[in-house]
């Protein structure tokens, strides 16, 4: 079998993808800088010899030769800090756009013809159509993060059409669950662990978005790759409903068995510069392919809270 290369495979979603590929008996090579990922996430596979690992930055050298003989690259490595992009955009431009270009060039030189890329719902910006379908236009991101991901999508499309590659682009809703080290649930848990009497909520708490548990997300990715074969395949992945931030806070407080917690709000409909206050993706395209979300937003949040609290 041709090897799967997973960039960012020691990270949150990447490590869950590695779990799934290993469970299928497929060979896996992980390339990760460990800037945000952790070897602990894939330690059992490494100790059992079922996964090879290279610590490397896609902007650097030394990892390119490892692509030779691979059948498919799952490209999950990125700078995921949406909020930081409004303060210091350089990292996201480099780690998202330039790193993706370096990867595509290495694939071209090594003869690797398939790439799976994890994009984001933020490429849609403040969409006027909700649930938002893949065909929605114009794509006008309101965050640097969304802009870099959209740029990566364009590069992948160009390489697929120019060099005979095939690509799958997945635009994620909020993916949550075990091993996550950022996002609203993680933020609430950290704040309440530090001070169980008070919780600061960014924005007005009414931001409503779609959430999906990470295991379901990985299942959707694997299904779509197995059942679509256009030169470039674009799919939304998310649940079919949404939940507001205040309700997530209530679920975290309840799970932590706290009472009398005082909420404060920073105000405004956006929690930070680049935040999208309303987001739900249409997953009809995936449904038509034969896959549907097994859980909704509230259940996904409940599962994620339990996993993150241990």
DSSP string, 168-195: EEEEE-EEE-TT--SSHHHHHHHHHHH-
Interior CA angle at 111 toward 106 and 112, to 5°?
75
Spans of the chain, pLDDT less than 70: 1-2
Supply the pLDDT for residue 298.
Answer: 98
Backbone dihedral region for residue 38 (phi beyond 0: left; psi -120 to 50: alpha; all else: beta)? beta
141-158 per-position pLDDT tens digit: 999 999 999 999 999 999
Supply the pLDDT for residue 185.
Answer: 97
Supply the pLDDT for residue 80.
Answer: 82
Strand 174-176 versus strand 211-213 pairing type: parallel
Structural domains for the chain: 3-175+212-237 (3.40.50.720), 181-210+241-309 (3.90.25.10)
Supply the pLDDT for residue 1.
Answer: 57
Give the number of other CB atoms < 10 A from CB of residue 20: 16
Nearest to 116 by CA among 166, 55, 53: 166
Element (H, E) at 43: helix 43-47
Give the Cα separation of 181 and 54 in Å (integer).
Answer: 22
């Amino acid at each position: 079998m041709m090897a799967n290369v997973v960039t960012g495979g020691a990270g949150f979603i990447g490590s869950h993808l590695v779990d799934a590929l290993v469970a299928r008996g497929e060979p896996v090579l992980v390339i990760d800088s460990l800037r945000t990922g952790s070897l602990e996430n894939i330690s059992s596979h490494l100790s059992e010899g079922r996964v090879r690992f290279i610590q490397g930055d896609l902007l650097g050298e030394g990892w390119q030769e490892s692509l030779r003989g691979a059948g498919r690259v799952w490209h999950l490595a990125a700078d995921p800090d949406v909020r930081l992009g409004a303060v210091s955009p350089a990292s996201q431009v480099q780690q998202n756009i330039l790193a993706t270009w370096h990867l595509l060039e290495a694939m071209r030189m090594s003869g690797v013809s398939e790439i799976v890329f994890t994009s984001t719902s933020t490429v849609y910006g403040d969409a006027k159509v909700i649930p938002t379908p893949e065909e929605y236009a114009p794509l006008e991101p309101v965050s640097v993060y969304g802009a870099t991901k959209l740029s990566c999508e364009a590069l992948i499309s160009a390489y697929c059409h120019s060099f005979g590659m095939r690509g799958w682009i997945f635009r994620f809703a909020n993916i949550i669950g075990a091993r996550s080290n950022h996002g609203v649930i993680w933020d609430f848990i950290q704040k309440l662990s530090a001070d169980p009497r008070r919780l600061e909520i960014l924005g007005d708490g009414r931001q409503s978005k779609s959430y999906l548990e990470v295991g379901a997300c990985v299942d959707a990715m694997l299904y779509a790759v197995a059942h679509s074969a256009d030169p470039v395949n674009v799919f939304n992945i998310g649940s079919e409903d949404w939940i507001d931030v205040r309700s997530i806070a209530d679920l975290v407080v309840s799970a932590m068995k706290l009472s009398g917690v005082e909420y404060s709000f920073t105000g405004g409909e956006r929690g930070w510069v680049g935040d999208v206050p309303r987001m739900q993706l249409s997953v009809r395209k995936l449904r038509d392919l034969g896959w549907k979300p097994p859980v909704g937003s509230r259940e996904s949040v409940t599962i994620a809270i339990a996993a993150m609290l241990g």
